[in-house]
Structure 1
Amino acid sequence: MVDPRTAVAAVVDPEIRVITIDELGILRAVEKDPATGRVTVTITPTYTGCPAMDVIRADIRRALAAAGHADADVRTVYSPAWSTDWISAAGRAKLAAAGIAPPPATPG
């Protein structure tokens, strides 16, 4: 059985296929209830109404099931709102290598 965080972190963004949802900063949390084994994943869309969220939720559930975690809940939260500051350094490098210029991270 693969760690649920590892499985979910590897899910690729369906719109920008060179980056994972973890690298993009969409993935906020992955928790597994030790009593029930149920996995709860929390994600934040890049903007309210993002059309890719249904695909992302389905891809998360598929990745968890393949990793041996069939009992999963995917929650979407809007606060705090997603920010380009949440893109990881690895994500920024992948975007740049693909010719997509990410905005610079806010210092601090």
Structure 2
Amino acid sequence: MLATGSLTFAQLEDSINKWTIDLEEQGKFFINQAKQLNAWDTLLISNGEKILNLNGSIERVKQQQQQLDQELDFVLAQQKELEELIVPLEKELVEIPVTDIDRNQM
């Protein structure tokens, strides 16, 4: 640059070319950053959908687990009831004298 503050056409052209190159580099950098952000955004949305699906699956499994627990409680109650019914029958069976007709005939 000249000390008087005036620019020659060549200096102005060099400055404009430099600014144009800088602007193109910044534009490329911006586009790359925007593409990366877009890819991350897409990934986040996809993972968010997967999380929602997993959450729904977990809720279904919890409901199925509760139903299974209820069914197991019912089976346990039936088993306990059967055991209570069997005890008197076993006592009666012990008190019944064993008679084996086939043994006595030998």
Q: Which has the higher contact order (CA 8 A, sep 6+)?
A: 1
- Higher relative helix content: 2
Q: Fold match, TM over 0.5?
A: no
Scaled by the length of structure 2, what TM-score is found?
0.19
- Higher relative strand content: 1
Scaled by the length of structure 1, what TM-score is found?
0.18
Larger Rg: 2
